[in-house]
Amino acid sequence: MNCQLAPDNILYGNGLYRLLYDAAGTLLPCWLAYLAAGLVIIFILVNGVLLGAAVITWTERRLLGRFQNRVGPNRWGPFGLLQPIADLFKLLTKEDLTPAGADRIVFALVPIAMVAPLILMTAVIPFAQNTALASLNVGVLYLLAISSVTTIAIFMAGWSSNNRYAMFGAARAVAVLISYEVPVVLSLLGVVMVAGSMSLGQVVEAQALPFLLVQPLAFFVFLAGMSAELNRTPFDVAEAESEIIAGYHTEYSGIKFALIQAAEFGGVVVVSAIVATLFLGGWSGPLSEYLGWLWFLLKTGVVVFLFIWIRATYPRLRIDQIMAFSWKFLLPLSLINLLAVSLEVFFLRGETGQLTATDLGIMTGINLVLAVAAIAFFGNLIRRRVKFETRRPAQNVVPGVSTIEVS
């Protein structure tokens, strides 16, 4: 049989899918070839996300060991490379427990609801030119919508566990996620305005200069906001062991716990890929026609390393500091960036409606100065508003009364 995809098909722009579809079409009916090619792509996506989570687990533990003067995993395999596999087998053999009084259906659906958004987001990320499974003209909006599902999954985990610690952890996580969604969305509005499209492929093609330089404030806000949404240090109050044990997934064990952890570590890879696409030029680079995928992986790896570096450097913030950081620091920065980009696009965009490399260079000079000034001003402002606890001995020591004063 000779099966051909119609040009108006949403999968027509995916070269890999067309290759699989044409190959399967020589042996199978067209409708079955269409299904088989889709299943193969889904298989690749699911295993890619899970494999990426395993790799980032090993990488993060090794790098954190080096940052903190430790060795890290070093027993299973050379350099501990088989440690993620050993952890997986250990969790597979552990008993899968469900608390008494828990909502069993919702409790069991949480790991699926945590992993599914990562796979759905990966489907629209272009690893090279014309390689996204679905090239959506609303790709940025799609990513924002799908990533919000994680908020529901976390609340489901805390509510269904019938555990107050899990519920407190879920409430904290939901409060942080909702708060940081606002500056993250505003930061991406500037990217869409400069690119003139919400398609991820067209955003990459619009980056004659990386948007990291053109919109440094948007990059800073997006990176900080996504660190909070991924429950990464210093924003991981949802899992503050000294206060609420393990947070929303306290009651999860066995393979369910493994999937939740895979979603958290896999989220770092997916978000790093999104950052590479929106701010670092995606697949663009020398010989991008042939090595676009390599440039994309290198840029994604740099962002992953940055996330790990931040985790190894900063201590955990208090919940009030985290909320103040969002509403009093990131939100004003995102609004300033949006106002500046709106004015720049209005005055610089020509009759063709496109911004040239020269226009982007002018925006880079203006926005770099603006970013330094805004971060310094609001950073100093929030530092004065968020007070830290200082401890000093009291002047009059009374037996049975604490000698610590808080100012």
The total number of residues written for the chain in this structure: 407
What is the number of structural domains in the chain? 2
Residue (of 291, 277, 143) closest to 204 by Cα position:
277
Does residue 377 sit within a domain? yes
Residue 376 and residue 280 share a domain = yes
pLDDT at 406: 44
The whole-number pLDDT of residue 184 equals 94
245: tokens are 């044990």
Domain final position from 87, 117, 147: 87
Residue 226 shares a structural domain with residue 332: yes
Q: Within this chain, do residues 167 and 287 fall inside the same structural domain, yes or no?
A: yes
Position 403 in a domain = no
Q: Are 372 and 233 in a shared domain?
A: yes
Q: Do 338 and 378 have their domain in common?
A: yes
User: Which residue bears the tokens 């063709």?
Assistant: 352
Asked whether residue 129 is assigned to any structural domain, the reply reads yes
Domain end among 87, 118, 142: 87
Task: Report the C-alpha gap between 405 and 395 in whole angstroms.
Answer: 10
Please check whether residues 356 and 284 belong to one and the same domain: yes
Q: 111 and 70 in one domain?
A: no
Same domain assignment for residues 213 and 233: yes
Model pLDDT, residue 407: 43
| Domain contains 262 | yes
The reply to whether omega before 183 is within 30° of 0 (cis) is no
Backbone angles phi, psi at 194, to 5 degrees: -70, -40
How high is the pLDDT of residue 372? Answer: 93
Segments of the chain with pLDDT less than 50: 404-407
Give me the domain span that covers residue 15.
1-87
Determine the number of helices (DSSP H) and then strands (DSSP E) in the chain. Answer: 16, 2
Q: How far apart are CA 356 and CA 89, in angstroms?
A: 54
Task: Tell which residue, 371, 334, 337, has the closest CA to residue 184.
Answer: 334
Q: Which two tokens stand for residue 132?
A: 């996204």
Residue 402, domain member (yes or no): no
User: pTM (2 decimals)?
Assistant: 0.87
53, 87, 121: which is the final residue of a domain? 87
